[in-house]
Amino acid sequence: MKALVVGGSGYTGGELLRLLLNHPKVSEVGATSRKHSGRYVWEVHQNLRGAYDGKFSEYKEGKVDADVVFLALPHGQSMEHAPRLVEKGVKVVDLSADYRIGDVELFEKSYVKHKSPELLERAVYGLPELFRDDIRKADLVANPGCYPTAAILSIAPLQKFKDSMDLRVIVDSKSGTSGAGATPTESLHHCEVAGNLKPYKVTGHRHQPEMEHILRRMMPGLSVSFTPTLMPVVRGILSNTHVFCDFDVVDLAEHFGDFYKGERFIRIVETATTKNVLCSNYCDISVHYDNEKDRGLFISAIDNLVKGAAGQAVQNMNLVMGYQEDEGLAELPYHP
Amino acid sequence: MKALVVGGSGYTGGELLRLLLNHPKVSEVGATSRKHSGRYVWEVHQNLRGAYDGKFSEYKEGKVDADVVFLALPHGQSMEHAPRLVEKGVKVVDLSADYRIGDVELFEKSYVKHKSPELLERAVYGLPELFRDDIRKADLVANPGCYPTAAILSIAPLQKFKDSMDLRVIVDSKSGTSGAGATPTESLHHCEVAGNLKPYKVTGHRHQPEMEHILRRMMPGLSVSFTPTLMPVVRGILSNTHVFCDFDVVDLAEHFGDFYKGERFIRIVETATTKNVLCSNYCDISVHYDNEKDRGLFISAIDNLVKGAAGQAVQNMNLVMGYQEDEGLAELPYHP
Amino acid sequence: MKALVVGGSGYTGGELLRLLLNHPKVSEVGATSRKHSGRYVWEVHQNLRGAYDGKFSEYKEGKVDADVVFLALPHGQSMEHAPRLVEKGVKVVDLSADYRIGDVELFEKSYVKHKSPELLERAVYGLPELFRDDIRKADLVANPGCYPTAAILSIAPLQKFKDSMDLRVIVDSKSGTSGAGATPTESLHHCEVAGNLKPYKVTGHRHQPEMEHILRRMMPGLSVSFTPTLMPVVRGILSNTHVFCDFDVVDLAEHFGDFYKGERFIRIVETATTKNVLCSNYCDISVHYDNEKDRGLFISAIDNLVKGAAGQAVQNMNLVMGYQEDEGLAELPYHP
Amino acid sequence: MKALVVGGSGYTGGELLRLLLNHPKVSEVGATSRKHSGRYVWEVHQNLRGAYDGKFSEYKEGKVDADVVFLALPHGQSMEHAPRLVEKGVKVVDLSADYRIGDVELFEKSYVKHKSPELLERAVYGLPELFRDDIRKADLVANPGCYPTAAILSIAPLQKFKDSMDLRVIVDSKSGTSGAGATPTESLHHCEVAGNLKPYKVTGHRHQPEMEHILRRMMPGLSVSFTPTLMPVVRGILSNTHVFCDFDVVDLAEHFGDFYKGERFIRIVETATTKNVLCSNYCDISVHYDNEKDRGLFISAIDNLVKGAAGQAVQNMNLVMGYQEDEGLAELPYHP
C-alpha cells in the first residue's frame, strides 16, 4: 500500500518515515514539505540517508495518490486538508490536535476556530487500547497527544472505582524536548535545557482538556489537574497520576493486568521508567498504593515520538487497513 | 574560627569544604575520613587542588579542636558522636537525619534505633527561614534533608489557609543524582541514568515523615504524599506541591512575598527552575493557581548540595556563631 | 537456526539478544550467565520484557545446542571455550579481544597469556568490509573492538597513499560510556561522567596494537598513536584520524566512495556525527583535507554497541551462515 | 572602581557581570544591550535576580563613565568603539577577536575588514601567564579566544624543544555549547546536541590562525592543525595537542611545572578533565609521553566562559588596574 506523510520534515514526520520505510505492508512512501520541497528527504533527516531516496514534494490535494495520509502538521492546518481527503475516500491519520476533542467549544477554547466541525463526530480518537473497534471502522483517526496517551492509559482502568474515588486527579508529567519540535527557540537551546528541570504551562496546558474530555466518557465528572515539566532528555514522557481512594479492596496491579490483558503494547511493570520503552511503541505502567494515605499512584512511561505520536499513528493505520496491529512496530526498546 | 568536617570525603563533605575554604570567618578547616585518612584532601576532591593542602585525618573525639563540627556521616553514625561533642561545648551541625525528627518512634520507624534520644529535644531543625531564633541559641542543629528543604519552604506559607484547604497535599519531586552520594551503584551508573526518568521509593521515602513532622507543627493534621523521581542531572531539586483549596481570596504570590519578606535566600519568581539556583544557596519558589480546579501549585527549586545540604549547614553555622547569616554564601548561581 | 549468547547479561549481550530476537533467520535464542543463571532474561534486560520469555542458563559445553555461539565474555575467558566449540563444528563469533591479534607476543603484551594460540591463525578478523571473503569461510570470527572498527574503516582506504604519506597517524577518539560495560565504578558514576570530558589511557590503550596490527597488513610500517576520551553520552564513538600527506592529487571523498562502493553499512557523508548512526549498524565516514597544512582528516562515527559490537557480530554471523549480509540489521538510526 | 560591560546580554556578558558583582574592588557595574535596553538585567540573566538591580542601558560613547570597559560584542563591532575609548583614557578589555591577531592581513582573511588597524600594535594579547608584563602596561587588552587559551597554554612550554620537535602540531579540541552563544540555532537545538558528538569547521576554524600567530612569536615556523568537536555539555573545553618529538631527554611534567611555577591559575595534573575546572579560572594541564612513538600529548582543560572568556577578562582587568591578579577570582571549581 501507499502512504503519504504530509508535513514530513519535523521530528514526528521523520519518525513516521523511519517506521513506514521498514513496514512490511507499505510499498511506497511519500513525504511533503512546504519548506523543503524539492530536496532529498535524507538531507533533512540525515539518519535516513542511504535508506530512502525520495524527495519532499509540495502538497497538492489533487495529486494525492495514497491509501493512507498522515497529517503531521501544526494544529489548525490539518483541518484544512482532512475534509477533502476523507471525501475522496483516503484514510486519514491526523497527528495534530484538530480532531481530538469532540466538543467544538472546548476545542476552540484551547486552540483556534474550527474549520470543519462537521467532521468532529466522524473522527475517532486513536487510542487503540481503548477504542480499537471504532478505529477499525474509521476513515479519520485523531492521533492522541503525547501527554494524553500516557495519562489516559494509566487512568482508564480506574473507571471501576469511579464511584468511590476522589475524582480530582493530579497528573504531574515530565517530558523530553523532542515533543516540542524541531524549531530552534530560546527555551529549547541546549544551554538552557541541559542540567535544568523546568516546569512550563503549569496550569493551562492544552493537553489537559483533551485528557479530561476523553476520560469523562468513562468517568463522568472526572477532573484532571495537569502540570508538565521539561526535562533534559530527548525522548520520553513519564506521567505520575495521584488519586485519593481506598483502593485497598482490590489488588490494583492485578486489576490493571486484567484490564490490559492481551494488549501487545502495554506492560504492567514494577516501576515504569522512560529508558525501558525508548524507541518502541510500548507504554509501561506501574501501579502503586500508599495504604496510609489512601493514595494511588499510577506511573506510565512512553517514548513521546513513538507511542506518543508516530508509532501510535502506525498502529492506527494498521487497524484502519485491517493489518495485524503490531505490523512494523516490532522494534524493541534499546538499552542502555 | 575553626571548623571540622567529620566524614569529609563524600559529595556533601566536599561541598562543605569548598564553602568553608572561602568563608571569611573560618581561619582553619579540618576534615576526617575513615577511608581516606592520611591522603591529601585534593586527591579525593580534585577540584580543591591547589586551594587546600590539608589531609584527611581519622576522627578522634579527644582530639577535636574546633568551634563548629559538621557531621557529614551516614544516618545512624552521627548519633554516636553528637552527644559528647555537645557535652564538650562544641557547636554541632549534623547533616544526617539523626536529629531531624523529634519523635523517637517516628524516627525509628524510618531509620534505626536511636542511640541518644535524650538529645532529640535539644536539637533544633535547621531551616533558618522558619526557625531562625531557635537555631541562634542551639548547640545541635539538625540540618534538613534536601527534599524536605524544598518542600517545607514552599508549603509553610500555606499555614494561613490551614483551616480551609484540603490537608492532603501531594509533593511530586524531581532530583539530580548528587543527592544519592558518591558510591557507585547500578542505579547511579551513567548508562542507566542518562536519558532516563526514573521514579523510586514512590510511596515510602524516608523524607516523607520528616516533611510531615515539621509541617504539622504549623499545620496540624497535614498529610503529605511524597513521590520522588531521579533525573539525569547532577544537581538540583524541583518540588511540585499540589494543594486543593479556594485560594482565590488572596493574591497568593503576594502572600508568599510577604511571608518571606527580607529573606536573603528566598526568591519568589514567575517559574522556579533548578538552573537559576545552581551552585547557590537560593531557594526559588513560584506560586500558581488553577482557578477552575481550585488547585494551588507551589514549585520550589534548590541546589540539593547547597541549600539542600552544605550551604544550609553553613547558614546554620553562621546563625549559631552569631555571624551575618549569608557570610561565605555570596556565590551567585552560574548560568548557563 | 539456533543462536546462543554466552555471557548475555552485559550491555553487549543485551544488544545481541535484542538483534537476534528480531532476526528473520534465527528461530531460537539462548543466553547464558553465571551470575544470573535461572533468572528470566527480562529481569536483567528489562527492555526485552514481553518480547522474550527465556531464562539465563549456566554455560555447559556438553549441552551447547546451537549453530552459532556468540562469546560475549571478558577478555581471557573466550579462549577457554572457543577451542572445543570450534572442534565440535559450531560457528563461533567471539566479541572479546582473544583472537583479534594474530601475533601471540603482541597479544600477550596487552592482555594475558594466551591459552589457545594454535587457533589464532584460524581466527578471522571480523571486519566484513575488509575481510568478507575470509569471514565467509571462517569457523571462528574475532569480532573487532569498537575503537578499531571506527578507526580502521576510516584509515584503510589510505593504503593507496602508503608510499607518500607520513605513516605516523594520530587517532583521537571519543566514546560514550556504554563501551565500558555495565559494572558500576567510580569513573562511570553518573555524577562523575555528566558534564565531563575525560581522557583516559591516553597513550597505552589496548585497542592501539589491534588497530596497528590489522592496518599494517595493508600498510606496512604504519604507526598509530591513539588517544581516547570518555564523553557524557551513552552510545557512540567518534574517531578523528589526522594524517599528513599531499592528498591533493586526488578527490579524497570520491576515492573513499569508490573504495566502499556497494557497502551497505558505510556512508560517506559531509560530516560524520554519532547521532546519525545511533542504534544502527552504519559507519559514517567524512573526509576532509586541509590543503595549507597537507593534513588529511578522516572522521568516522559508529554506535559502539551495534557496528562496534553486537551489530557487527550479527553481520559476521550472516556471512558465516551464508545469509544476506544485512539480514536482521535493517533498523534505521533514530533521530533525534 | 567602575566597570561597564558593553554587550552584556549574552552568556559571556552574564558571566562577566556575575564575576564583577562579587569583585571586591568593583564598586559599580553597568551593562549595555541594544536589544534589552531598559529592561532589568535580572530579567535576562535570571540567575542574578536579587543580587543586582541595574538595568541594561543603550551604549552611548559620550556617556561612558567607567574605569574599565569590557567589550563583549560580536567580532567586527568592538573595533567601532575601542579607538575612542582608548583615546578617552578608559582601559579596554575586548572579548571579541578584533585585536587578537596583530597581522591585519591575517585577521582580515578570517574575519572582516579592520576599521582600526592602527590600534593593533598597541593592543596586547591578554594571556597573563605569557604576557603579564605587557598587559600591566596596556590600555587595550585583546582577550584570547577560548580554544586558543587552552591550546596556547599547553603548547607554550614546548618552546624549549622548538629546534628538535616536529613543528606540525595537531590540536584536537572538544567544546561545550556555551561557547557558541545564546542565540538559538538548529545546530544548538537541544535535540540535536544531546547525545551527539559533532565535529564542525574541522579544517577552517578562525581560532587556528590566532593560535598559530601567537605561538609563532615563541616558536617560529610552528604549524597548527586544529579540529574542534561540539560536545553535549554546557561548559568546558578539552584540548588535546599531539606533537612528535623525542621528549625523552627531560621529565616533561617537571618541565611544565617549572615553566608555570607560581602561576595561580595553572595546575599541572595527572589527567586534565573539564569537570575539575568548572566555574573556575583554572587551566589544568596534563603532560603525557608515548615513548614508543615519540609522541607528546598535552591535554588542557578550561571552563570556556571563565578562563576562556570572562574570568580571564577579569584577570586582565586586575593586571591593568594594578590589583592582585586573582582578585575576585577565588571561586573554586564545583564538584560534582
Strands D266-269 and D283-290: parallel
Residue D184: list chain A partners with CB under 8 A: 184-186, 188-189
What residues in B contact D46, CB-CB < 8 Å? 269, 276, 335
Strand partners, A227: A172
CA–CA separation, D219 and D215 (whole Å): 6
DSSP-assigned states of every residue in C142-162: EPPPHHHHHHHHHHGGGGGGT
For residue B260, pLDDT beyond 90: yes
Using pLDDT thresholds of 50, 70 and 90, give the confidence band for residue D61.
confident
Which of these, B304, B329, B302, lies nearest to B315 by C-alpha position? Answer: B329
B144 residue type, one letter: P
What whole-number distance in Å separates Cα of residue A301 and Cα of residue B212? 29
Instruction: Please judge whether D18 and B195 are an interchain contact, meaning their C-beta atoms are less than 8 angstroms apart.
Output: no
Q: What is the DSSP letter of C45?
A: S
pLDDT above 90 for D72: yes
Choose among D329, D246, D313: nearest CA to D281: D329
How many CB contacts within 8 angstroms connect chain A with chain C? 77
**pLDDT value of residue B62:** 87
Asked if the model's pLDDT at residue C245 lies above 90, the reply is yes
* C267: chain A residues, CB-CB within 8 Å: 49-50
| Residue D249, pLDDT above cutoff 90 | no
Nearest CA in chain C to D293: C225
Q: Is A228 helix (H, G, I), strand (E, B) or coil?
A: strand
The letter for the amino acid at D16 is L
What pLDDT is attached to residue C250? 86
Give me the residue from B178, B184, B191 closest to C234, CB to CB.
B191
Q: What chain A residue is nearest to D44 in terms of C-alpha separation?
A: A186
Q: What is the mean pLDDT of residues B256-270?
A: 98
| CA gap A147, B198 in Å, rounded | 17
Selected residue of B18, B327, B334 to mutate for chain D interface (largest D Cβ count, 10 A): B334
Q: Is pLDDT above 90 for D30? A: yes
Which residues of A fall below an 8 Å CB-CB distance to C? 11, 14-15, 18, 21-22, 45-51, 178, 182, 195, 234-235, 267, 269, 275-280, 282, 330-336
| Residue D86 CB-half CA count within 13 A | 23
Low-confidence residues of chain A, pLDDT below 50?
Answer: none
Of D234, D277, D280, the CB nearest to B336: D234
pLDDT tens digits, one per residue of C27-79: 999 999 999 999 999 999 999 999 999 999 999 988 899 999 999 999 999 99
Say if residue C217 is exposed, middle or buried (CB neighbours under 10 Å; 0-12, 13-18, 19+).
middle
Give me the percent of chain C exceeding a pLDDT of 90: 98
Are A272 and A153 in contact by the 8 Å Cβ rule? The answer is no
**pLDDT of the residue at D62:** 87
Give phi and psi for B295, each to the nearest 5: -110, 125
Cell triple for D106: 591575517
pLDDT at residue A248 in the model: 83
High-pLDDT (> 90) share of chain B, %: 98
pLDDT given for residue B44 in this prediction: 97
Expressed in angstroms, the distance from the first to the final Cα of chain A is 35
CB–CB contacts below 8 A, B to D:
77
**Contact flag A333-C195 (C-beta cutoff 8 Å):** no
Dihedral of CA atoms B305, B307, B309, B311 in degrees, nearest 10, equals 90
CA atoms B256, B261, B264, B267: torsion sign: positive
pLDDT band at C285 (very low <50, low <70, confident <90, very high): very high
Instruction: Report how far residue D295's alpha carbon sits from residue D241's, in angstroms, rounded to the nearest whole number.
Output: 10
Cβ partners under 8 Å of residue C36, min gap 6: C9, C43, C44, C56
Instruction: Kindly give the pairing relationship between strand C91-94 and strand C68-71.
Output: parallel
Q: How far apart are the first and last CA of chain B?
A: 35
Q: Which residues pair with D266 in a beta bridge?
A: D283
What distance in Å separates residue C14's CA from the closest CA in chain B? 13
- Mean pLDDT over B104-130 rounds to 97
SS (H, E, C) D29-45: EEEECCCCCCCEHHHHC
Average pLDDT over every residue of D160-182: 97
Q: Which secondary structure element, helix H or strand E, spans residue B192, and what is its range?
A: helix B190-193
C82: confidence class by pLDDT, cuts 50, 70, 90: very high
Q: If you measure CA to CA, which chain A residue comes closest to D177?
A: A191
Residue D327 has pLDDT above 90, yes or no: yes
* pLDDT confidence of residue A61: 87
Rounded CA-CA distance D44/D8 in Å is 10
CB contact under 8 A, C184 and B189: yes
Per-residue exposure over C46-77, b if at least 16 CB sit within 10 Å of its own CB, e if not = bbbbbbbebbbbebeeeebebbbbbbbbebeb
Please list, in sequence order, all residues whose beta carbon lies within 8 angstroms of the beta carbon of residue B78, skipping any fewer than 6 positions away.
B71, B94, B95, B96, B98, B99
The average pLDDT across B114-138 equals: 97
Instruction: Please name each of the domains of chain A with its CATH number.
Output: 2-144+307-321 (3.40.50.720), 147-304 (3.30.360.10)
Kindly state the cell numbers that stand for D103. 597581522
Phi-psi region of B181 (alpha: psi -120 to 50; beta: other; left: phi over 0): left
Tell me if C199 and D227 make a contact (CB, 8 A cut-off): no
**Helical H segments across chain D, by residue range:** 11-21, 41-44, 78-88, 104-110, 128-137, 146-155, 190-193, 207-218, 252-259, 311-321
Per-residue pLDDT, D250:
86
| Residue numbers in A near D195 (CB within 8 A) | 234
- CA D17 to each of CA D21, D26, D94: distance values in angstroms, whole numbers, following the listed order: 6, 11, 15
The C-alpha cell that represents A209 in the structure block:
482538556
DSSP state letters, C261-295: TT-TTEEEESS--GGGGTTSS-EEEEEEEETTTTE
- Count how many Cα atoms sit within 13 Å of the Cα of residue C140 in the half-sphere of its side chain: 24
Tell me what pLDDT residue B318 has. 98
| Residue B191 to residue C178, Cβ atoms within 8 A | yes
Q: Which residue has the higher pLDDT, D152 or D248?
A: D152
pLDDT at B61 over 90: no
Helix (H) or strand (E) holding C199: strand C198-199
Q: Give the neighbor-by-neighbor strand order of the sheet with C266-269.
A: C198-199, C223-230, C168-175, C237-244, C295-302, C283-290, C266-269
* Helices vs. strands in chain A: H and E counts, helices first: 10, 14
Mean pLDDT for all residues in chain C? 97
Q: What pLDDT score was predicted for residue B250? A: 86
The whole-chain average pLDDT of chain D stands at 97
CB within 8 Å: B197 and A242? no
Binning pLDDT at 50, 70 and 90, where does residue B249 land? confident
Sheet with B91-94: strands ordered across: B56-57, B28-32, B2-6, B68-71, B91-94, B140-142, B124-125
CB contact under 8 A, B182 and C190: no
CA distance D215 to D161: 13
- Peptide linkage before B199 cis (omega within 30 of 0): no
Confidence of residue C97 (pLDDT cuts 50, 70, 90): very high
